[in-house]
Amino acid sequence: MTHPEPTVSGLVALPSGKSIFVQKYDAIPHDDPDIPIIFIHGFLGSTDMYLNIVPHLSNRTRILYDLEGHGSTPLPTTSPLTPASMAQVTHDLLTLYGYTRADVVAHSGGSFVALQFAQGFPGEVRKLVLLGPPEIPVNKDLVLGAARGLRVGSLEDRVPLFVDALGSRARDDPAILSRIRSEILLQDKDRAASTIEALSAFECAEGWGERGIEAVVVAGKQDTMATTENCAKLATRLGARLVEMDTGHSFTIEDPETTVKVLRDILG
């Protein structure tokens, strides 16, 4: 399928003064209410990781954005970067485009932002889908260690870690390997490290069953970064449903067709 052209693509100024790189795809007109889907990528990722699946969810408005310090979005210059401030960006984007509620899809470390958004603005989240979320409660030493490794090493050093987390079929696919590598090398390592350091402070609240949010945790059976065991523990904590896919950590790149099917089944 040919990728549709986004109606918005570039840096967008928020009322806070922050500039955020956004790609927005409008829904094909239909009779049902348009509840947008907000996509949040993971560490060392960008909006590019969702481009394989965007064309296949055209009944919904899709809002993709680069986290601060990742891709084409700069770090903030006038305020500290925190889990709450990053969740505020999600809220501000939703408000900017005239919506009061959305479904949220997040991958890997982006799950921290999605969960913080759902905790801070529970009325704005209808469904929450976490693809390969990290261990929660946050292993702060592990997350900060990843940021330190990024600062003292190189982006090229990170590539094998992501390749090792792919499923067996994907590790033998040159196109997927090239895609993973190019996504990582796109980043500025020090800016990305700042984002990871900030999100190491995320704390998952209790009482998720009281929020009225339908949550689903998607685990890759071959994922070594977000193991099925840890995903199952998080699903229990959130009162969420656990769905398994036969992939590694990079769902949308390894198996976009099944990812689309899973999202359609969850989001409707």
pLDDT of residue 31: 67
**Could you give the C-alpha distances from 250 to 231, 235, 259, in angstroms and in order?**
15, 19, 10
pLDDT of residue 220: 98
**Could you give the C-alpha distances from 199 to 99, 108, 185, 195, in angstroms and in order?**
26, 12, 21, 6
pLDDT of residue 268: 87
147 vs 193: CA distance, rounded Å:
5
pLDDT of residue 1: 45
Q: Which fold has domain 8-267?
A: Rossmann fold (3.40.50)
Number of neighbouring beta carbons within 10 Å of residue 85:
16
Give the pTM.
0.96
pLDDT in tens, the chain (268 residues): 456 788 889 999 999 999 999 999 999 887 677 899 999 999 999 999 999 999 999 999 999 999 999 999 999 998 899 999 999 999 999 999 999 999 999 999 999 999 999 999 999 999 999 999 999 999 999 999 999 999 999 999 999 999 999 999 999 999 999 999 999 999 999 999 999 999 999 999 988 877 889 999 999 999 999 999 999 999 999 999 999 999 999 999 999 999 999 999 999 8
Query: What is the side-by-side order of every strand in the sheet holding 8-13?
Result: 8-13, 19-25, 62-65, 37-40, 102-107, 125-131, 214-220, 241-245
pLDDT of residue 82: 98
pLDDT of residue 19: 97
pLDDT of residue 3: 61
Q: Is 175 exposed, middle or buried (0-12, 13-18, 19+ CB in 10 A)?
A: exposed
Q: What is the dihedral of CA 145, 235, 162, 41, to 10 degrees?
A: -90
What are the boundaries of each domain within the chain? Answer: 8-267
